[in-house]
Amino acid sequence: MERTFIMVKPDGVQRGLVGEIISRFEKRGFKLVGLKLMQISRELAETHYGEHKGKPFFEGLVNFITSGPVVAMVWEGKEVIATAREMMGATNPLKALPGTIRGTYGIDVGRNVIHGSDSPESAAREIALFFKEEELLSYEKTLDTWIYE
Ligand code: ADP
């Protein structure tokens, strides 16, 4: 089973979309194994978005992501990394398909509601960045026999 890092960004928290976003992942059948409400430090933001350092939007992105509480989560399941990206929709919400999270709730690329790891490597890196080992739980859900064959 894969694990991925998902974060409701400050705009999603302010707009009251936390429950809706969690609900979509729950209903899909994925398992929540880590969850916290937090405000990201500048240092953590710059590390998390390190690949974008030097780009014109970097400063604005760091300012935005540190501007208010976020909900950081780890979700587990079969092919959850790629599937979560599909559920989120394209980075630019105007290009995201209707029905996806960004395609339902977003307009501007700098206010796109949700973050999700884009590969197994970034998932491992981001999970370790935001969660301690003991903050992630392994547990059985009896419902899993009705989700996986
Ligand atoms: P994703 O979040 O879909 O993985 P990226 O890793 O390319 O996308 O970018 C990280 C975040 O930076 C995006 O979610 C978005 O909030 C912001 N971003 C990306 N490109 C731009 C841009 N051209 N202008 C403003 N913000 C951007």
Residue 112 assigned as binding residue: yes
**How far apart are the C-alpha atoms of 37 and 65, rounded to whole Å?**
13
pLDDT tens-digit profile of 18-75? 999 999 999 999 999 999 999 999 999 999 999 999 999 999 999 999 999 999 999 9
110 lines ligand 1 (CB under 6 A): yes
User: What is the number of H-type helices and E-type strands within the chain?
Assistant: 7, 4
Q: Supply the pLDDT for residue 46.
A: 98
**How far apart are the C-alpha atoms of 137 and 141, rounded to whole Å?**
12
Average pLDDT (130-148) is 96
Q: Supply the pLDDT for residue 120.
A: 98
Sign of CA dihedral 135, 144, 2, 104: negative
Mutate to test the pocket of ligand 1, among 47, 57, 101, 115 (most ligand atoms within 8 A of CB): 57
112 lines ligand 1 (CB under 6 A): yes
Q: Return all residues near 6 (Cβ < 8 A) that are at least 6 apart.
A: 21, 25, 72, 73, 74, 75, 84, 114, 115, 116, 117
Residue 36 assigned as binding residue: no
Burial 50-86 (b: 16+ CB within 10 A, else e): eeeeeeeebeebbebbbeebbbbbbbbbeebbebbbe
pLDDT tens-digit profile of 86-114? 999 999 999 999 999 999 999 999 999 99
Whether the complex's predicted ipTM surpasses the cut of 0.90 = yes
Sign of CA dihedral 45, 55, 9, 69: positive
Residue 102 assigned as binding residue: yes
Q: Supply the pLDDT for residue 23.
A: 98
User: Exposure of 46 by Cβ count < 10 A (0-12 exposed, 13-18 middle, 19+ buried)?
Assistant: middle
- Beta pairing partners, 73: 6, 35
Residue at token pair 């509601």: 113
**How far apart are the C-alpha atoms of 12 and 22, rounded to whole Å?**
11
Q: Supply the pLDDT for residue 16.
A: 98
Looking at the whole model, is its pTM more than 0.90? yes
Would residue 115 show up in a list of annotated catalytic residues for this protein? Answer: yes
